[in-house]
Amino acid sequence: MAGIIIAVIQVIQMALSLYVYILIASAIFSWLYAFNVINSRNAFVESIGRFLYNVTEPVLRPIRRIMPDLGGIDISPIILILLIYFIQMILANPIAPFLLSLTM
């Protein structure tokens, strides 16, 4: 039973780490799109942009509503990344040992 709990926690942590990479990719893509570095009329580029937007926007929108206006600077991805790292630390430190102690 302990092995299953450890596996579930590790899968959750891997998914959160993958989401951090998606957030970083979304931020970089938005900068490249804003500075017209990439061709916005290319169908492949548009599909990547749409995917990144659809995956990150539902989570970033509530953070943007709470954050004050910083004059065009969007720090909501940074706030979300810090929140994800906080969740990962909680999973790794207090929760995992507690769940393991319950199974023994």
The pLDDT tens digits for 72-92 are 888 999 999 999 999 999 888
The pLDDT tens digits for 4-44 are 888 888 999 999 999 999 999 999 999 999 898 998 899 99
Res 95: pLDDT: 72
Q: Is 70 exceeded by the pLDDT of residue 96? A: no
As a whole number of angstroms, the distance between CA 22 and CA 93 comes to 25
What is residue 70's DSSP assignment?
Answer: -
Q: Is 90 exceeded by the pLDDT of residue 93? A: no
Are the C-beta atoms of 48 and 78 separated by less than 8 Å?
A: no
Alpha helices (H) along the chain: 2-34, 43-66, 76-90, 96-103
Res 94: pLDDT: 76
